[in-house]
Structure 1
Amino acid sequence: MPIDTGTLESWAQYESGPIDSAKRTHSRIQKELQSSETLAHADFDTYLQGSYANYTIVRASSDVDIVVQLTDMYYVDLSGLSPAERDHWRRNSGDPDYSWHEFRSDVVDVLESRFGSSAVDPVGKAIEVEAGKLPLDADVLVCADHRDYYHYPNGYHSGIAFFNLNNTKIVNYPKQHINNGSTRQSSTSNRFKETVRIFKRARNYLVDNNELNKENVPSYFIENLLYNVPDGRYTYNKQDRVAKILRYLNSTDYSDWTCQNGITDIFGSGPAEWNTRYAGRYIDAMVTLWDNW
């Protein structure tokens, strides 16, 4: 039988408390970075990203994702330009005075001085800051501007770039993700984000019952998957909605879908892409859960 209405209502629930705690965590880290003499010479922006920013958080204990974005310089992808445009860009560009690696090192120093070195773990793509002086644990992603050029000088997608432990550049577009999610929320009569929460809490249920490995089904990709489902599947009745979405996902080739940012692919072999095999296992597990509830 289908998942009962009471469970779906519970899984759809939005909790304002964790969002408020995330905002206070961001404000505190932003204040400490902006007031530091170490970073006084740098132009940067800070903002929330991820489930807290998108209002799709389902577990209050989740770390807060905070972006610290250097705007003094930018990285580029010139592959979309003609040879003449690439030459034009090179003639008008020089080496930056302040790199992402230097900026990240300075951010680590400030966080350690303000929150204590024992509370800060800089190893990994994000700097982990433990709660104590903060309402919630935080993952601070230090990045720089990125321009994905398709025409020079003014045709480009604005994103962020950072480097992993193998010094591989990773590019993403968090602001487009947030904006497009808000647009989809409106076009589905405010049903998109609660549906994401339902599917994420169902994932957690399956993980808790050893039906899935959470590492293979990140929340980010669940949201991207549901973003591609047509608006017409987001019906008023939650049982009808979930059934229609599962039928659509179970009968559709989603291998060429793009992320919620509208720019990058969901699936592929890159460090910021998903595996269709994991997506298929998640959808199969969801269908089984729905049928056997």
Structure 2
Amino acid sequence: MIERRKLERWTKAETADQDEARDTQRAIRDELEEGRLEGVSDGLEFATYLQGSYRNTTMVYDSGDVDILVIRTDKYHADFSDTPETSAEHAPTQNPRQMFEEHAEGVYRTLQAQYGTRSVERGDKAIEVDSKDLPLGADVVPCLQYRRFWPRQSGNHMKGIVFWTAEGTKVVNFPRRHRIMGEQYNGWCAGNYKSTVRVLKNFRNTLVANGTIEKEDAPSYFVECLLSNVEVSTIAHGDIRDRIEGVFEELESAAEGGFPDYTVQHGMSPLFGEKSTQWNTDQAEEFVRAARTLYEED
């Protein structure tokens, strides 16, 4: 069985890396401001936002590149499916895909101009920046503001982001709500939630290093969201071994039913499904099984 001291070590955050992540975000923001988003029409406004494990303080050793959003703030896309009458009062940008592509191209060109073409590569979802001038590598995600309007009150909406992948898949997320819900859940769980996320991420990284599972079959974001569905009482348990065993038991039980009603951490969409932005239940079940085996045999 895995040693208690290893579990305790796995609960710790890599605080030095978090400082480097914030320095990386500031450097990229400054370069984008100085470069004025090359090739883009006047008037475009943007803000940067650190997201992912570094922002949510669930990072572990070798967490990888920093996730940085570059949000176009002078335009927004919206979902009025629950409140069609509201659309006349809060008209969003026309041609949001075009506005996004314009923004993404500007971010890409500016980063290339500032860091060099060899250090900047545009991937399916993010622009990858790997430069010796930055403390950490960065995955920069250009996006638009997104608003999901609610029927309870005219104009009431949830703020998020939207972008399109290179293959044309529309991706909607709510990173600020994700962070807020993580903080709230951590408080409900007596401060144990984020440390327990780190333990599961360390299980995942060890399984990937051992060749037991493939990295893309258990993304770090999905692992964090998986744990956000576990009962508060299970994660609030003070003893680390009892807590982890309780988590495994609950997840194994949920896996038998296909993880019913499991959502991502911000609660705005299902965690599992057929979309490219959702997790496959078989992959999640395999991760839980492999992590339990590692726990018992290590």
Match of 1:176 in 2: 177
Tell me the residue number matched to 2:262.
Answer: 257
Equivalent residue, structure 2, for 1:286: 291
The alignment status of 1:53 with 2:63, answered yes or no, reads: no
What is the distance in 1 between the residues matched to 2:36 and 2:246?
A: 55
Distance 1:183 1:85 in 2: 30
1:108 matched residue in structure 2: 108
Counterpart of 1:227? 228
The answer (yes or no) to whether the contact 1:108–1:127 under 8 Å persists in 2 is: yes
Aligned partner of residue 150 in structure 2, secondary structure? strand
SS of 1:170 mapped into structure 2: strand
Mapping of residues 1-293 of structure 1, within 5 Å: 2-38=1-37, 41-60=43-62, 62-82=64-84, 84-85=85-86, 88=88, 92=91, 95=94, 99-151=99-151, 153-234=154-235, 235-252=237-254, 253=257, 254-293=259-298
Matches of 1:19 and 1:123, distance apart in 2: 24
Deviation at residue 58 of structure 1 after TM alignment: 1.4
Q: CA RMSD in A?
A: 2.0
The alpha carbon displacement at 1:96 in A equals 6.5
Q: TM-score, normalised by structure 2?
A: 0.91
**Cα shift readout 1:91-122 (whole Å, capped 9, x = no counterpart):** x5563798111111111111111111111102
Q: Distance in 1 between matches of 2:158 and 2:212?
A: 39
Distance 1:167 1:99, change over 3 A: same
* 1:112 and 1:119 in contact (8 A); partners too: yes
| TM-score (norm. length: structure 1) | 0.92
| SS of match in other structure, 1:251 | helix
| Equivalenced residues, count | 289
Q: SS in structure 2 opposite 1:136?
A: coil
CA shift for structure 1 position 34: 2.0
